[in-house]
C-alpha cells in the first residue's frame, strides 16, 4: 500500500492520479470489474476515499479512464499485427476472415480491456457526471475511428460501412466476453447436466467466429 503526503503541485497531483489508476489496474488483474470497490481501491492506494474522490468523481470514472488507456494501447499495437496477419493480395472474403482473426486473437490476452468493454454501457457509463460521460464518449469515438481506419486500410471494399463494422465489433467483444465467463452457479449447472454445456463457450474461439461472421456479413452487404 502506498502512503502519500498532501499533493501541493500539479506534478504531485498527477503522480497521485497515476497511482490510483495503476492500483485499479492491478485490482483488475485479480478480480472482475464488478468486484472493484472504491473502499478497497482507497485502502490499496493509501488514501482516504474522500481523497480519491478529489481526483476521480466515482469508481466508474476511474474505470472509464482505465478503459480508454487500455483501448488506446490496443489500437497502438493492432496495426502491426494486422499487417503481419493479412495477405494484401488475397481475395476480399479471405482478407475479411484474416482481419477478424487478427482482431480476435489480439484480444485473447487483454483481459482488462475485454472486461471493461463488457461493462461499458451497462455499468461504467452510469454514476458519472455529464462532463465525464462526454469526455469518455469523445475518447471512445476516437478509438472507434482508429479501428475504422484500420478496417479501411485492409478492407477498402467496406466503403462507408467500415465505421459500422468497427462499432459493431466493439459491442460483440463485450458481449462475447460476458457470455464466455459464466457464474460459479452456471459452471456447477454445466457439470451437473452436461447437456447444458453446449452453451459453454471458449472466449477466443467464440470471438473469432463472431467477428468473422460480422465482418464477412458486412462485406456481403456492401456488394452491388
CA 212 to chain centre: 18
Does 143 share its domain with 90?
A: yes
pLDDT at site 223: 67
Pick from 113, 118, 123: which is nearest to 28 by CA? Answer: 113
CATH number of the CATH domain containing 124: 1.10.357.10
Averages of pLDDT over each 10 residues, the chain, 224 residues:
59 92 96 95 94 95 97 97 97 97 95 96 94 96 98 96 97 95 91 89 95 96 77
Does 71 share its domain with 39?
A: no
Instruction: Determine the structural domain holding residue 20 and report its residue range.
Output: 1-56
pLDDT at site 9: 73
Are 172 and 178 contacting, i.e. CB atoms less than 8 angstroms apart? no
pLDDT at site 132: 95
How many domains does the chain contain in total? 2
50 three-class SS? helix
Does 90 share its domain with 172?
A: yes
Does 95 share its domain with 47?
A: no
- What grid cell was written down for 195? 447437456
What is the 8-class DSSP label of residue 159? G
Does 112 share its domain with 154?
A: yes
Does 28 share its domain with 106?
A: no
Within 10 angstroms of residue 25's Cβ, the number of other Cβ atoms is 15
Does 103 share its domain with 82?
A: yes
Helices (H), the chain: 10-30, 38-45, 49-55, 59-85, 92-106, 111-119, 130-154, 162-179, 184-192, 203-222
pLDDT at site 130: 96
Are 177 and 118 contacting, i.e. CB atoms less than 8 angstroms apart? yes
184 three-class SS? helix
pLDDT at site 2: 52
DSSP readout, 191-221?
A: HH-GGGGGG---HHHHHHHHHHHHHHHHHHH
pLDDT at site 155: 98
Does 106 share its domain with 42?
A: no
Does 98 share its domain with 199?
A: yes
- Residues 6+ away with beta carbon under 8 Å from 115: 28, 32, 33, 177
Does 41 share its domain with 100?
A: no
Amino acid at each position: 500500500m502506498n502512503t502519500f503526503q498532501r499533493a501541493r503541485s500539479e506534478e504531485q497531483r498527477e503522480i497521485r492520479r497515476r497511482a490510483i489508476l495503476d492500483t485499479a489496474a492491478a485490482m483488475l488483474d485479480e478480480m472482475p470489474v464488478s468486484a472493484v470497490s472504491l473502499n478497497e481501491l482507497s485502502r490499496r492506494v493509501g488514501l482516504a476515499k474522500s481523497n480519491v474522490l478529489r481526483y476521480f468523481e466515482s469508481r466508474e470514472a476511474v474505470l472509464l479512464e482505465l478503459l480508454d488507456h487500455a483501448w488506446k494501447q490496443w489500437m497502438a499495437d493492432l496495426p502491426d499485427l494486422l499487417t503481419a496477419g493479412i495477405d494484401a493480395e488475397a481475395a476480399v472474403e479471405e482478407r475479411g476472415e484474416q482481419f477478424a482473426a487478427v482482431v480476435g486473437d489480439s484480444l485473447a490476452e487483454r483481459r482488462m480491456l475485454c472486461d471493461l468493454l463488457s461493462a461499458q454501457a451497462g455499468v461504467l457509463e452510469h454514476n458519472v457526471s455529464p462532463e465525464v460521460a462526454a469526455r469518455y464518449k469523445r475518447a471512445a469515438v476516437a478509438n472507434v475511428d482508429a479501428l475504422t481506419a484500420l478496417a479501411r486500410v485492409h478492407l477498402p471494399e467496406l466503403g462507408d460501412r467500415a465505421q459500422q463494422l468497427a462499432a459493431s465489433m466493439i459491442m460483440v467483444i463485450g458481449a462475447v466476453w460476458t457470455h464466455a465467463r459464466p457464474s460459479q452457479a452456471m459452471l456447477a449447472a454445466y457439470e451437473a447436466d452436461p447437456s447444458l454445456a453446449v452453451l459453454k463457450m471458449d472466449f477466443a474461439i467464440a470471438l473469432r467466429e463472431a467477428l468473422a461472421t460480422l465482418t464477412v456479413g458486412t462485406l456481403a452487404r456492401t456488394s452491388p
